[in-house]
Amino acid sequence: MTPLAENSTVIAAVIGLGSMGLGMARSMKRAGLDVVGYDITPAAIDRFITEGGRGAATPAGAAKDADIVVSVVVNGAQTEAVLFGPEGVASTMKAGAVFISSATMDPAVARNLAQRVEALGLHYLDAPISGGAAKAALGELTIMASGSSRAFDRARPGLDAMAGKVYELGDAAGTGAAFKMINQLLAGVHIAAACEAITFAAKQGLDLDRVYEVITASAGNSWMFENRVPHVLAGDYTPLSSIEIFVKDLGIVQDMARSERYPAPLAAAALQMYLAAAGAGMGRDDDSSLARLYSKLSGAELPGSNKKAQSL
């Protein structure tokens, strides 16, 4: 299989037009691809159409003529449904097309899905993403990808449009997923640590704006502290990445670690905090809501603590 001809119009289908998928669809459209979008929410499809994209009523309809199908859903189960469920894309994708799976999932699930897709004469690229909605909108995502050379060749126009950096991590599906889980272990622990630290600072009666200024210029800083603590300082827990995402992802980390008989106590402790926050009714709120949980446990006062959204 050769790469798509440079002078042909590449058709890409994006399944899932949430904050990440919409940005990815926009980036490919901006790069000159003919993009068809599908989402379970009709309003999301309508929004993309008003921007000049095309819409479809089903995943199968979106994928019918596509050279590239990008699945931007939450997990492995949803990815399987996109592929093989009612109106799934595997039923209409043309021979030689590539399926780019962007969901975070267990590497074993990615390997299984790849085998099933490739048995149909299609290509599968295991390609989880990092960077958030802002990077998706700019076409500057980090993509951790693994798959056959032919899958990469077929996916290249979409990858070039969506990503600032594509890491090619091997020829077998599952490797990209494994890299993403290492990232998620660190991200989940770092968010929990950032929320613990800023709420501890509040308990000490410190000026939180000054704490943020000092720590972001010091050795204790992390990308997550710098990115998430402003949500706490603003008292704004509008979800950009939700608590439930890390309930899922750190749960996968624990499953993987248990199967390898590998201890992961820091990830386990962080998972318990996300579970507690979800159980307290904050599952759909921003993951910086762990600070709210710490404040309720300790009596520390955070900005916006008198808002209704701050109550458990």
Which of 180, 248, 296, 307 does the annotation list as catalytic? 180
CA 296/CA 228 separation, integer angstroms: 19
- Domain extent, residue 235, equals 177-298
- Pick from 171, 189, 210: which residue ends a domain? 171
Q: Residue 194 domain-assigned?
A: yes
CA 302/CA 233 separation, integer angstroms: 8
Q: Residue 305 domain-assigned?
A: no
Task: Read off the amino acid at residue 201.
Answer: A
Looking up residue 82, the CATH number of its domain turns out to be: 3.40.50.720
Number of compact structural domains in the chain: 2
One domain for residues 141 and 202: no
One domain for residues 194 and 132: no
- The model carries a pTM of 0.91
Q: Residue 26 domain-assigned?
A: yes
Task: Read off the amino acid at residue 137.
Answer: A
pLDDT of res. 307: 52
pLDDT at 308 over 50: no
pLDDT at 4 over 70: no
One domain for residues 259 and 293: yes
Q: Residue 157 domain-assigned?
A: yes
One domain for residues 218 and 149: no
One domain for residues 39 and 151: yes
Q: Residue 252 domain-assigned?
A: yes
| 180 in active site | yes
CA 198/CA 300 separation, integer angstroms: 10
Q: What is the share, in percent, of the chain residues with pLDDT greater than 90? A: 93
* 179-195 pLDDT, tens digit each: 999 999 999 999 999 99
Q: Residue 5 domain-assigned?
A: no
Return all residues near 91 (Cβ < 8 A) that are at least 6 apart. Answer: 60
pLDDT at 111 over 50: yes
* 41-55 pLDDT, tens digit each: 999 999 999 999 999
Looking up residue 227, the CATH number of its domain turns out to be: 1.10.1040.10
- Pick from 171, 186, 220: which residue ends a domain? 171
Q: Residue 276 domain-assigned?
A: yes
One domain for residues 107 and 185: no
**Range of lowest pLDDT (2-6, 162-166, 214-218, 278-282):** 2-6
Among 27, 128, 13, smallest CA distance to 68 is for 13
Return all residues near 8 (Cβ < 8 A) that are at least 6 apart. Answer: none
- Pick from 123, 148, 171: which residue ends a domain? 171
